[in-house]
Amino acid sequence: MNMSQNKYFLIINPAAHSGKAKKEGEKIISLLEKKKINFDFRWTRQPRQTIDFAACAARENWETVVAVGGDGTICEVISGLFRNSEVGKKPKLGVLHIGTSPDFNKYHQIPINIEAAIEVLLKGKTKSTDIGKITYFSHPDGKNEITSYFASNVNIGLGPQIARKANSRYRKYLGDFLGTLGSVLVSLADFKKTKLNITIDGKQISFNQLVNLTVGKDPYLASGMRILNRIRPDDGKLYILSIEQTSRLALLNNIPKLYRGNFLDYKGAKIDYGRKIEIGYSPQYPEIEFDGDLRGYLPAKIEVMPKALEMIVP
């Protein structure tokens, strides 16, 4: 096949939505074949294979690489597209969401109905959007530095504990909303506030009673939780949400505000905006979670990449 004619390359994660995505992936393939669309696809079979597939598609000059899965799949496709700095013009990103919690789709107003999402993929417009770049470590002893990219947000502190519980069993048996809420409440019961030092565009900030730190582009945190703020997809900024514990009871009483979007009314919540964030090491909670999955360890450097990604939206 002439590479200049390569249109859509689908990367399908059959393990998305607790393993329920394989049937949806097969449906998508069938629909595209009926429409006689020029496409190819790969099923992911092991961790981080998504990144390799996306990097290969970028080298082979596919016009659009389509993430077929959840927010974790979208994140890894983006990391693959940006892995090879020698690649000139990168493919566009298309999204067919068959995962658990469609936070990315909500923010960018991409439908989750398969037929409607395919219509957006085929007939939608191209928009340039920001993404986040993060450098961290694959081991807690500070070995093997990794650079990845994210579309939604990074969490330090309570977030990784919630992700571990939600991804392992809670959402599988309780569903997206109840599974995530249950993970939040159970994780909070065992969590001990911690200290953490960060810098935002060179300004140092110290937290003494930190519960969670979120650095992101997407105001949707997970499974309906959201923080109403001034961030926009292409404003060249990241938001930095810090949550400190005033009292455990006050924190628990304010959890419903995470679903109403007004959690900033909680006295322990504060939001800043910046372009470059450095996060120090936390011996108590060294793990990093971003875009829904546990990824690695602190310390970390995060920066925004303004309008770096072209994606297909309605």
pTM, two decimals, is 0.90
pLDDT at 1: 36
Q: Is the pLDDT of residue 118 over 70?
A: yes
Q: What are phi and psi of 8, to 5 degrees?
A: -120, 130
Long-range (24+ apart) CB contacts under 8 A made by 166-169 are: 166/222, 166/223, 167/292, 167/293, 167/294
CA 48 remoteness from chain centre: 14
Q: What is the pLDDT of residue 85?
A: 61
- Could you give the residue ranges of the DSSP H alpha helices within 152-311? 158-165, 171-174, 176-190, 248-253, 255-260
pLDDT, residue 43, reads: 96
Residues in the chain: 314
Residue 87 pLDDT greater than 60, yes or no: no
Q: What percent of the chain has pLDDT over 70?
A: 95
pLDDT band, residue 18 (cuts 50/70/90): low
- Split at pLDDT 50, 70, 90, the class of 2 is very low
Mean pLDDT in residue range 177-192: 83
Tell me the per-residue pLDDT of 271-281, one tens digit each, with 9 for 90 and over.
Answer: 999 999 999 99
Phi, psi of 169 (to 5 degrees): -155, -30
Higher pLDDT, 67 or 20: 67
Domains within the chain, CATH numbers bracketed? 3-123 (3.40.50.10330), 133-307 (2.60.200.40)
pLDDT at 265: 93
CA 306 vs CA 130, 132, 198, 201, 303: distances in Å: 5, 9, 22, 15, 9
pLDDT value for 3: 42
Give the per-residue pLDDT at 19: 64
pLDDT band of 15, cuts 50, 70, 90? confident
170: number of Cβ within 10 Å: 22
